[in-house]
Amino acid sequence: MTCRTFTPDDRPALAAAFGEWILHTDVMHFDQDSHTVGAFEGDTPVGFISVYPKKRFGGMEAYIDVIEVAESRRRQGVARTMLAMSADWARARGCRRLRAWSTADKTEAIAMWRALGYRLRPVYARKRLTGYYVTKRLKGERP
């Protein structure tokens, strides 16, 4: 498996591997300020992540808009690798934190955030857990 920057030209291969929905969302960021990485086996994408910078409280943070790994390649460290690359990228840009949002039904992701040292702040609507704000401080951390 190799991880490399994902470009718009990779979108057809991504749609073939993960479904057409990916062509119709705005969660993939390809502008030069953003960081979009794919994990590939040969030419086939087996995972992807897209992160963009966001100003917050006067400082920069990096927002993970999407992360997904093919079912057949889960629990093999693909997300861990892509997140470490994203943390490196964000740190190099001077971002103080990585942020994400997980709905409460994303049990695999929630376990992953916890395992990788992300902080989860629960969000409730009418006393029902809807999801978590996910954050990780980057200052002084190693990838």
Ligand X SMILES: CC(C)(COP(=O)(O)OP(=O)(O)OC[C@H]1O[C@@H](n2cnc3c(N)ncnc32)[C@H](O)[C@@H]1OP(=O)(O)O)[C@@H](O)C(=O)NCCC(=O)NCCS
Binding site residues, ligand X, CB under 6 A: 67-69, 74-80, 100, 102, 106, 108-109, 111-112, 115-116
Residue for token digits 């709905």? 103
Which CB sits closer to ligand X, 79 or 85? Answer: 79
Which CB sits closer to ligand X, 32 or 107? Answer: 107
Which CB sits closer to ligand X, 19 or 59? Answer: 19
Please answer whether residues 63 and 100 qualify as being in contact, where contact means their C-beta atoms are separated by less than 8 angstroms.
yes
Report H helices in 3-106: 11-18, 78-92
* Closest approach of ligand X to the CB of residue 113, in Å: 8
Please answer whether residues 34 and 73 qualify as being in contact, where contact means their C-beta atoms are separated by less than 8 angstroms.
no
Which residue from 46, 39, 35 is spatially nearest to 98, judged by alpha carbons?
Answer: 35
* Closest approach of ligand X to the CB of residue 48, in Å: 9
* Closest approach of ligand X to the CB of residue 70, in Å: 8
* Closest approach of ligand X to the CB of residue 134, in Å: 7
Separation of alpha carbons 121 and 124, rounded Å: 10
